[in-house]
Structure 1
């Protein structure tokens, strides 16, 4: 069985999430940063993502999904960094057990823009649970929302 180093692990998981997760693909999410210190997801405005049609505002569910995805990335990256050259089979088994335990989102401003950037940093990364802080900005740096996510990672 082939063992993988952390950078290969992060690349493989990122490619999988960008290409193989149908919901993220439908939303147009692209993972642009994936490290134990920071996760980042970007996506472009499309009318299909609109929640408030008269005001042309991003749907709150898209906002929360972007924040949750960025938080999950940084939580997973922290878990992966603690693994000692895992096999691909072990990696997939560990990833299958990861998930969101709790998510809190605070909407600060209407989601307007051409591009949106959801970023996350880790607050705590343990063997079983990780906690992340997330923010959503548009291309001009306008702070649209922030959140806190708790993730099962072990």
Structure 2
């Protein structure tokens, strides 16, 4: 069960990733859903995000970025759930150290679509490291890419 404190921390994490990271704002990443077990993000296709001008497909770097954001947010939510007993100051200090250790992206199909949805879930959450699995689909449900991310979370 999610406590009000966990919800407050998840909201702060979401604000950081979605509202305070200029690159994520530049891409136009939007939050759809965020819980203790995962996240769902949305990205609308725009001309500036095209990686292949002949076919008009989503740039691979944009794909990797939205999957990394989904993985990082999910890792942070798992850390909040695991470290809820810490003081707000200590939890804030630990979360401020959150970062990507390793990121693997498998591109399954060209990024064709008008809307893209990224989701992530925890594979394993430890004291210092969390591993997540992420997926990217277009508005028709076509699986575009998946990834595995390893994150330092404290």
- Give me the TM-score of the superposition, normalised by structure 2: 0.92
- SS for the counterpart of 2:146 is strand
Deviations 1:37-73 (A, max 9, x none): 1112111001000100010010000000111111111
Deviations 1:4-29 (A, max 9, x none): 71111111221232211101000000
> Which residue does the alignment assign to 1:60?
60
Please give the alpha-carbon distance, in whole angstroms, between the structure 2 residues aligned to 1:101 and 1:148. Answer: 11
> Which residue does the alignment assign to 1:147?
147
Give 1:84 shift: 2.8
Structure 1: any 5+ residue segments left out of the alignment? none
- Give me the TM-score of the superposition, normalised by structure 1: 0.92
> Which residue does the alignment assign to 2:13?
13
Give 1:101 shift: 0.6
Residues paired across the two proteins, number = 151
- SS for the counterpart of 1:137 is strand
Structure 2: any 5+ residue segments left out of the alignment? none
> Which residue does the alignment assign to 2:90?
90
Q: Is residue 118 of structure 1 aligned with residue 118 of structure 2?
A: yes
